[in-house]
A and B are shown apart, each in its own frame.
Chain A
Amino acid sequence: MAGALHLLSTAGLGKSFDGVRALSEVSFSLAAGEIHAICGENGAGKSTFVKLLMGILQPDEGSIAVNGEPVVLRGPQHAQNLGLGFVAQELSLAPRLSILDNIWLGSAEVPFFHRTTALRRRARAALDALNVGDWDLDAPVASLSIGQRQIVEIARLFARDARILILDEPTATLSDAEIERILGVLDSVRRQGRSVIYVTHRLGEVFALCDRVTVFRNGEHIATEAIAAVTRPHLIELMLGRSLSEMYPQASAQAAPRSAATIVRLNIPGQVHDFSVEVPLGKIVCIAGQVGSGANAVTRALAGLIENATGNVWISGIPLPLGSVPRCVANNVVFISEDRAAEGLFHQMLVRDNLVAASFRRRARFGVLDWPALRRLAADLAGRLGIDRRRLRSSAAHLSGGNQQKLLFGRALQRAGGCLLLMNEPTRGIDVGARADIYRLMRELCDQGFTLVIASSDLEEVAGIADVVITMYRGETVGRYQRNAIDMSRILADIIHPSRSESTVRRVEPAQAL
């Protein structure tokens, strides 16, 4: 590609957050009329890279060149003026505004009085190019489905005549028909000589659509290959990389005597369809799936956090009513959210108070808290969790992510033996050292009679810690694997692009699965 005109290139691009390298030494190029896939696991640095290209983040090192000219991107508007257009993973539309207004939102081309017929015509043309020319331009975006909103985002780039379209997982939440439509549209974009940077997990789309693929892993630029030169297994290997370390403690071998929980046909409208499983006592069940697969929704529903979830759930043989957190807690179901900041810690409170927060009711006499007992409890818990006791009196906000997560485990530990512990993304944002502690804790909990159900999109973790893996793809259960049959590449294949026969509903009866 040396002689070809590069619309966009980077040299030695790097970025750190608080001393942690998120991205290093990325040398990337994008030719005219090329669709270039960016692949990698969660946390590989894909999103950071894209944000650098759009000027949302500033690089710590390296340079970016557009049309061969080195540039310093000052912000999204500046990147736009240079012909870059970005569809973020989370939608960036203003729901209260109309489709037309959203298409032109923030554009430098819009005159002071914005309701010109030229803008309306170009917006219409952009929607036409996406085969949705019949949409009402004046309808509010709030009235559209998520998939339709994604199309408005792409139409926005079209209308502004972006030369380089950067799409960050555009199909994560779309239906098959909508994905097909978007792939078709991107193909015609390529034929117009425009280029696309396509960030995705889904290998099927990479092979169906893209010309080249760049793989990131742990913030490093691993490889850039022509699609014709790689095979699917090779690409998966590039994404997963290093062999599994000795991070994961072995499960005790004894067979589970009985089941801790039975879930039959759990349904959440629009998110999960007919999810069934029998969770064995003292084991770790991982629900693996990407964003939008519904894996996180299953655990949230079991925790009583989703009002419109339906289905039959028994905890140790007792029926569990869904949709009410207090009733779930009363039935010994404890939930640890992936969003520790919003749904876990009390940031303003001390570490100690955070730890014992779940015991206030039991350690009070006529409403007056028994602080000496609570302090003893906190010191005891800190010892079991591996938290330095001197930190008990500092603010919870000052703990590292790993220690914060241990705190939340500590809350569950106060339940005398045998509760169902639900967790979403248990090691998100936690460094490698603390991860090993977390995994060790999980195993200890199992040995103490706890049962764990984990929703995770981190494959290495799923393969390393799970006794049972259930893979999900867009609300459907794809496959189930027992400990000795867990294979990372098969799980990856399941959650990123199951073959058609599997993605159509394959209902496995719970008894048959275990």
Chain B
Amino acid sequence: MSLAFLRNDPHGRPLVTFVLTVLLLVVFGAGQGALLSPAVVRSTLETFGDTGLVALGLGLTMVIREFDLSVVGVFSVGGCIAVLTGNTDPWTGLLLALALGMIAGLAQGWLIVRLRLGSIGITLGGMLVLSGLAYVLSENRSLPYDNMQVALALTQPIAGVFSIRSLLTLAFFVVAALVVGTTRIGRDLIAIGSDRRAAMIAGVNVNAIIVGVFAFSGATAALAGVLVSYSLASASPAGLSDVIVPAATAAILGGVSLSGGTGRPLGIAIGMLILGVLHAGLNVLGAPPYAEQIVMGAVLLVVAVADGPLLLRRLGMTKQLIKPGLISGAHRNG
């Protein structure tokens, strides 16, 4: 039964990974009761707020079997624009950054569907252009943000463990989960990732969905950049460049596969929480920063191996996840 649950529910595996990660930390941290303190929970949620939105946008592009590398560039240029233009009115900065992120996403998505190009090439170009733009805007230095009220408001704890950032990120995940789970758009999205040709023949407007997902990914990356820059009260292009590795890791831990069609927003959220709890937990345990990378990599490797169809077949768990061609018509012999 438990195995069937793992296989059929898109959130099953991320949840199990999350629980195992927490258990792992508890075992290693035995005797140091600090692990389940509010501070750890808060730190976990702050990590979630930092990168969660980027992971959501990137993860959705992975669900439709694309990959948006440009989130790095949008994230840093969004932060720089917001800090430059939002000193008096933070909303101006936010809106400008969002507009830029969305336009970048629309343009890249349009190129990808129009010219039938791979997303890696296009978004790699987008990433370089936008990251470069961030350096130009900031003249390669750290930009201060003077509106401390906004910075404080964003980091102010709410109910002990939350902040506006983490709550906003959570809200985005919930809305995305509802859209993917209950609307036509969400179902078309999974169909496109699952089998693009089939979706096209069935009458799905494939191009519009692809462009839309890239626009969403651009907008969420820009929003994340704005929130991080505002709450740190500064933006520097160099400091904002290290976002794609945790975002992609969270998406994969959350059940998204590079072959498309799998993974749901809540899974990505859980993937983000896994990263957050690893970060906070290892911090509390006093582990050095490089240990965090090693542990994170190990968890990712275990998940990737456990996800492989060949392993599942060896274990006799499932036949259905194996490439259909290999087992087509097997029922005739049964």
Interface residues of A (CB under 8 A from B): 56, 75-77, 80, 86, 88, 90-97, 101-102, 105-108, 110-115, 140, 142-143, 145-147, 156, 173, 175, 269-271, 273, 292, 308, 474-475
Contact of A106 among B185, B188, B190, B321 (CB under 8 A): B188
Q: Does B197 contact A (CB under 8 A)?
A: yes
Q: A94-B261, A96-B194 are in contact. Are A270 and B333 (CB under 8 A)?
A: yes
Minimum CB–CB distance for B334 against chain A, Å: 9
Minimum CB–CB distance for A59 against chain B, Å: 18
With A76-B200, A270-B332 given, name 10 new contacts (CB 8 A).
A76-B201, A91-B198, A94-B195, A96-B193, A105-B202, A112-B183, A112-B184, A147-B329, A292-B329, A475-B332
Asked if residues A95 and B195 are in contact (CB atoms below 8 Å), the reply is: yes
Q: 7 interchain pairs (CB within 8 A)?
A: A94-B190, A94-B199, A111-B184, A140-B8, A142-B320, A173-B328, A273-B333
Asked if residues B330 and A269 are in contact (CB atoms below 8 Å), the reply is: yes
Q: How many residues of B contact A (CB 8 A)?
A: 35
Complex alpha-carbon distance, A57 and B8, angstroms = 37
Q: Does B234 contact A (CB under 8 A)?
A: no
Q: Does B169 contact A (CB under 8 A)?
A: no
Asked if residues A145 and B193 are in contact (CB atoms below 8 Å), the reply is: no
Contact of A114 among B187, B192, B202 (CB under 8 A): B187
A residues in contact with B326, CB < 8 Å: 308
Minimum CB–CB distance for B319 against chain A, Å: 9
Complex alpha-carbon distance, A463 and B197, angstroms = 36
CB nearest neighbor in A for B205: A77
B residues in contact with A108, CB < 8 Å: 203
Q: A92-B195, A94-B191, A173-B328 are in contact. Are A106 and B333 (CB under 8 A)?
A: no
Minimum CB–CB distance for B118 against chain A, Å: 16
Contact of A96 among B185, B202, B261, B330 (CB under 8 A): B261
> Nearest 7 A-B pairs (CB), nearest first?
A106-B203, A106-B202, A94-B194, A270-B330, A94-B191, A92-B198, A96-B261
Chain B window 306-326, contacts with chain A (Cβ cutoff 8 Å), 1 for yes, 0 for no: 000000000000001100101
Q: Does B327 contact A (CB under 8 A)?
A: yes
Minimum CB–CB distance for B11 against chain A, Å: 14
Asked if residues B194 and A95 are in contact (CB atoms below 8 Å), the reply is: yes
Mark out the residues of chain B between 164 and 214 whose CB falls within 8 Å of any chain A CB in the assembled complex.
Answer: 182-185, 187-188, 190-195, 197-205
Q: Does B262 contact A (CB under 8 A)?
A: yes
A residues in contact with B182, CB < 8 Å: 113-115
Asked if residues A175 and B332 are in contact (CB atoms below 8 Å), the reply is: yes
CB nearest neighbor in B for A144: B320
Q: Does B114 contact A (CB under 8 A)?
A: no
Q: A114-B182, A146-B329 are in contact. Are A92 and B187 (CB under 8 A)?
A: no
Q: Report which residue of B8, B201, B330 has the largest number of chain A beta carbons within 10 angstroms of its beta carbon.
A: B201
B residues in contact with A145, CB < 8 Å: 328-331
Q: A91-B198, A93-B195, A105-B191 are in contact. Are A142 and B327 (CB under 8 A)?
A: no
A residues in contact with B321, CB < 8 Å: 142
Complex alpha-carbon distance, A92 and B192, angstroms = 11
B residues in contact with A95, CB < 8 Å: 194-195, 261, 324
Asked if residues B195 and A88 are in contact (CB atoms below 8 Å), the reply is: no
Asked if residues A173 and B329 are in contact (CB atoms below 8 Å), the reply is: yes
Minimum CB–CB distance for B318 against chain A, Å: 9
Minimum CB–CB distance for A492 against chain B, Å: 23
Asked if residues A80 and B203 are in contact (CB atoms below 8 Å), the reply is: yes
Complex alpha-carbon distance, A107 and B204, angstroms = 8
CB nearest neighbor in A for B260: A96
Interface residues of B (CB under 8 A from A): 8, 182-185, 187-188, 190-195, 197-205, 261-262, 320-321, 324, 326-333
Asked if residues A94 and B327 are in contact (CB atoms below 8 Å), the reply is: no
Asked if residues A271 and B184 are in contact (CB atoms below 8 Å), the reply is: no
Q: A113-B183, A145-B331, A270-B327 are in contact. Are A97 and B203 (CB under 8 A)?
A: no
A residues in contact with B185, CB < 8 Å: 112
Asked if residues B331 and A106 are in contact (CB atoms below 8 Å), the reply is: no
Asked if residues A56 and B261 are in contact (CB atoms below 8 Å), the reply is: no
Contact of B191 among A97, A113, A146, A269 (CB under 8 A): A97
CB nearest neighbor in B for A156: B202
Complex alpha-carbon distance, A93 and B197, angstroms = 9
Complex alpha-carbon distance, A110 and B185, angstroms = 10
Complex alpha-carbon distance, A270 and B328, angstroms = 6
A residues in contact with B205, CB < 8 Å: 77
Asked if residues A175 and B331 are in contact (CB atoms below 8 Å), the reply is: yes
A residues in contact with B331, CB < 8 Å: 145, 147, 175, 270
Q: A114-B187, A143-B320 are in contact. Are A270 and B329 (CB under 8 A)?
A: yes
B residues in contact with A88, CB < 8 Å: 201
Minimum CB–CB distance for B169 against chain A, Å: 24
Asked if residues A77 and B327 are in contact (CB atoms below 8 Å), the reply is: no
Asked if residues A114 and B184 are in contact (CB atoms below 8 Å), the reply is: yes
Asked if residues A106 and B329 are in contact (CB atoms below 8 Å), the reply is: no
A residues in contact with B327, CB < 8 Å: 269-270
CB nearest neighbor in A for B195: A94
Asked if residues A96 and B262 are in contact (CB atoms below 8 Å), the reply is: yes
A residues in contact with B204, CB < 8 Å: 105-106
A residues in contact with B191, CB < 8 Å: 94, 96-97, 101-102, 105-106
Contact of A92 among B8, B184, B190, B197 (CB under 8 A): B197
Minimum CB–CB distance for B64 against chain A, Å: 11
Contact of A105 among B8, B197, B199 (CB under 8 A): B199
CB nearest neighbor in A for B191: A94
Contact of B187 among A105, A142, A292 (CB under 8 A): A105
B residues in contact with A93, CB < 8 Å: 195, 198
CB nearest neighbor in B for A80: B203
Complex alpha-carbon distance, A145 and B333, angstroms = 12
Complex alpha-carbon distance, A107 and B326, angstroms = 31
Contact of B203 among A107, A140, A146, A175 (CB under 8 A): A107
Minimum CB–CB distance for B192 against chain A, Å: 8
Complex alpha-carbon distance, A270 and B332, angstroms = 7
Minimum CB–CB distance for A298 against chain B, Å: 15
Minimum CB–CB distance for A149 against chain B, Å: 9
Q: A96-B262, A113-B182, A269-B330 are in contact. Are A76 and B195 (CB under 8 A)?
A: no
B residues in contact with A110, CB < 8 Å: 184
A residues in contact with B329, CB < 8 Å: 145-147, 173, 175, 270-271, 292, 475
Complex alpha-carbon distance, A108 and B194, angstroms = 20
Q: Report which residue of A56, A75, A86, A146 has the largest number of chain B beta carbons within 10 angstroms of its beta carbon.
A: A146
Asked if residues B333 and A269 are in contact (CB atoms below 8 Å), the reply is: yes
Minimum CB–CB distance for A51 against chain B, Å: 10
Minimum CB–CB distance for B5 against chain A, Å: 14
